[in-house]
Amino acid sequence: MAARKPSERRHASSEESADLNLVPIMAIMVILIPMLIYMFTFHTIKVQRVSAPRRSTETSKANEDKKKALNLTVIIRQNKGYTVTWEEEHHQGIQDGGPIGLWNAPSDDWCDKEEGYQGCVLSDGVCRCYDFAKLYNTVLKIRKDPNLVDPKKPEKRINISAEPEVNWGIVSRTIDSVTCMLGVVENEGDKDALEPPGGFTGMEHFKSAAPLLDDPVRLPGMGDKEQVRLCKPLFEQVVFAMVE
């Protein structure tokens, strides 16, 4: 029996490796890839900024020299609505914007789990929503009042407080309504939203609200060519507080 030539041996091994059956591996991949694509999120994740409450370390004399702070506070009441309070320089005590009650939705679609509007709750069989439109109009009026907010150096801070049972979805939508200037995109082809003159007429109008965007800016920590368009600020610094 004659021995094989080295070249034949090389050929034989290459033929064996070509016979490797990849079909079962392909079958696994075909299952794995759709599964991973299903797990993959295609949403755009952004963030809402909130500051932790801070204690003032300034001396009382320094406080005397400073202008009295607006101390604008929005309190969210469980299934009742909002209370907006603030302090004025020439008035004693806390000013109250009056209660902003819940709005009765025209249909239960507003409370639908999947397609409904965040901030609407079904209680006793009636779909009712927190009135973000009225809240926005109230806060905007305060922001534009030169007696309350200095147009040259506007107050940025707003306190948000809620009763313990109020859920994050409602708090988050409330933050939206008080931190950004909002408008409406009139035509489908329009890029930017326009501020509605006289504010929002009601919740149905507010449902189509979109933020009024500022010029592009580069934020600290962003790359050299990265820029972002943030919304025009209303009261941009949100501080959480607890209702006793």
Partner 1 sequence: MVDNATEPQEVQQTVRRKKRQHTDGDGTMNINSMMDIMTILLVFLLISVTSDPLAVKEGDLLKLSRSYASFPAFLSVPMLITKLEISVDQKRAVSVVCKLDGRTCTEQDYTNPNIRLSIDQMNKEHGKKDSLLIVPLKNALDKAVKQLKDDIADQPPEIVEKFKHNQGVATIICDQGIPYRMIAEIVYTTGMAELNDMRFAIIYAGASG
The beta-carbon contacts of 6-12 under 8 Å, at least 24 apart in sequence, are none
CB closer to partner 1, 142 vs 178: 178
CB closer to partner 1, 27 vs 91: 27
Which residues, in sequence order, are bridge partners of residue 94?
87
Q: Is the dihedral of CA 116, 199, 74, 62 positive or negative?
A: positive
Q: With 0-12 CB in 10 A as exposed, 13-18 as middle and 19+ as buried, what is 240?
A: middle
| Least gap, CB of 74 to partner 1 (angstroms) | 12
Contact criterion met (CB below 8 Å) for 186 and 236: no
| Least gap, CB of 29 to partner 1 (angstroms) | 4
Q: Cα separation of 124 and 113, whole Å?
A: 16
Q: Which residues bind partner 1 (CB under 8 A)?
A: 22-23, 25-26, 29-30, 32-33, 36-37, 39-41, 43-54, 76, 113, 117-118, 121-122, 162-169, 171-173, 175-176, 179-180, 182, 184-185, 193, 207-211, 213, 219-222, 228-231, 240, 242
| Least gap, CB of 28 to partner 1 (angstroms) | 9
CB closer to partner 1, 2 vs 47: 47
